[in-house]
A = this chain, B = another copy of it.
Amino acid sequence: METVNIALLGLGTVGGGTLQILRRHADAIERRTGRRVQVRRALVRDPAKARPAEAEGVAITTAIDDILNDASIHIVAELMGGCEPAREWVLRAIAGGKHVITANKALIAQHGNEIFAAAEKHGVIVAFEAAVGGGIPIIKTIREALAGNDIRSVAGIVNGTTNYIMTEMRDRGLDFGAALAEAQALGYAEADPSFDVGGIDAAHKLAILAAIAFGTPLSFPHVAIEGIDAIGAQDIHYADTLGYSIKHLAIARRDAEAVELRVHPTLIPQRHLLARVDGVMNAILVQGDAAGESLLYGAGAGALPTASSVVADLVDVLRLLSAEPDHRVPYLGVRPGAVTDLPVRPLAAIHSAYYLRLGVEDHPGVVADITRILADHAISIEAMLQRPDPARPDTMPIILLTHRVWERAMDQALDAIAQLASVRGPITRIRVHTDGAC
């Protein structure tokens, strides 16, 4: 029985979970692959910290060179997160002929092109199932299982923190700040929550999904990003009244000319499966020309779900360790020479339906002024709510749902509406998901 030695960079949540699964399932992995896995070394930041029982027999170090210079280590699992020093160390591991498994979405989204080129040059695998969707096997599904499809779109709830916050806002009427504080108390949100609630984390994942779905280079800098901090409890309430849930969606679409890459709050019809994905759960909907709509739902984060994906990658790597690179699944699903770039469509050029909320002075003619401006921009209205807000008796909230329109026309219409003397305060605008499932 051949033993394969691996090293973990990081023994935190995901590293600890990975160690736990590897111990628990060592025999099962052997039954699957015919190979025995041994975790030989682990890199940690603080050598004094207490380790889980599973770490017994693992040589703990704070010096990366102890791992990178150890020729007996075949596979490095990078489970630290963050771009540096992860990028440097992963590139050094690759240059040393070690296969790499990573759960690091920031690293792949921002430096994937460089990392994959290096891996191609050195003939090693870089596997990253755990980087997107935690325990949901979305990378394998898109790269392999849907290989017979021209993928048209990928749309998903890929950040559990924002989904938890929005679910609590809806179910318990909390405002954003209170729901965020609760998520922080429960450990679902970081002390600095900006990566999650600002949409950066979701954008990292979207960049990865789009690259493998469309066979394009990683294009994180071109993702249009809106967070959830501008969504009020009243928007969630009004959306519900209109038959919608608000979810923070990551959306990639492709047509013959361009791709769309955007992360933003989105109204979703309540009968749609994505609208039913609550709490910290994640779900991703993929539209292919042959398979039609496929939805994957599961735990998007957490020690064991993420480690489940790390170990699935490891099983793949173990099987292909001694195979020719040609026998492996290419990093972006298509062979490196076949990756083809496509322009990213600016947000102004997308076509979407919209939810609008604005506050007006309640006097005759205000609604007529607003609807006239919309009509002048060829924007037609699907539904309207107009309800006094007891908390603000001087301002009447107006909520509008529009049909699909070019975003540029909506931008222009909203500029004109904002200049009406009777319109008060900022206008809230949320895109509406009108595609698909259920």
Is A36 in contact with chain B by the CB < 8 A criterion? no
Knowing A291-B298, A292-B304, the reply to whether A145 touches B149 (Cβ < 8 A) is no
In the complex the two chains form, is B315's CB within 8 Å of A148's CB?
yes
Q: Is the CB of A310 within 8 A of B136?
A: no
Given A273-B276, A278-B438, A438-B276: A148 and B308 within 8 A (CB)?
A: yes
Q: Which of B17, B141, B324, B328 contacts A145 (CB 8 A)?
A: B141
Q: State the oligomeric state as a number of copies.
A: 2
Say yes or no: is A305 at the interface (Cβ < 8 Å to chain B).
Answer: yes
A437 to B282, CA, bound (A): 12
Residues of B within 8 A of A32 (CB): 147, 330, 333-335, 338
- B residues less than 8 Å from A135 (CB atoms): 288, 290-292, 294
What are the residues of chain B within 8 A of A140 when measuring CB–CB? 140-141, 144-145
Q: Mark A422-438, 1 if CB is under 8 A from B, else 0.
A: 00000000000000011
List, in ascending order, chain B residues with CB within 8 A of A171's CB.
Answer: none
Contact B298 A334 (CB under 8 A): no
CA distance A150 to B297 in the complex (A): 19
A296 in contact (CB, < 8 A)? yes
- For residue A314, CB closer than 8 A to chain B, the reply is yes
- Closest residue of chain B to A134 (Cβ to Cβ) is B291
| Contact A308 B146, beta carbon cutoff 8 Å | yes
Question: Is A327 part of the contact surface with B, judged by Cβ < 8 Å?
Answer: yes
Which residues of B have CB within 8 Å of A299?
291-294
Q: Mark A1-38, 1 if CB is under 8 A from B, else 0.
A: 00000000000000001000100110011111110000
Which 9 residue pairs of A and B lie closest in terms of their CB atoms, listed nearest first? A148-B311, A137-B145, A135-B291, A31-B338, A290-B308, A294-B298, A295-B297, A291-B308, A147-B315
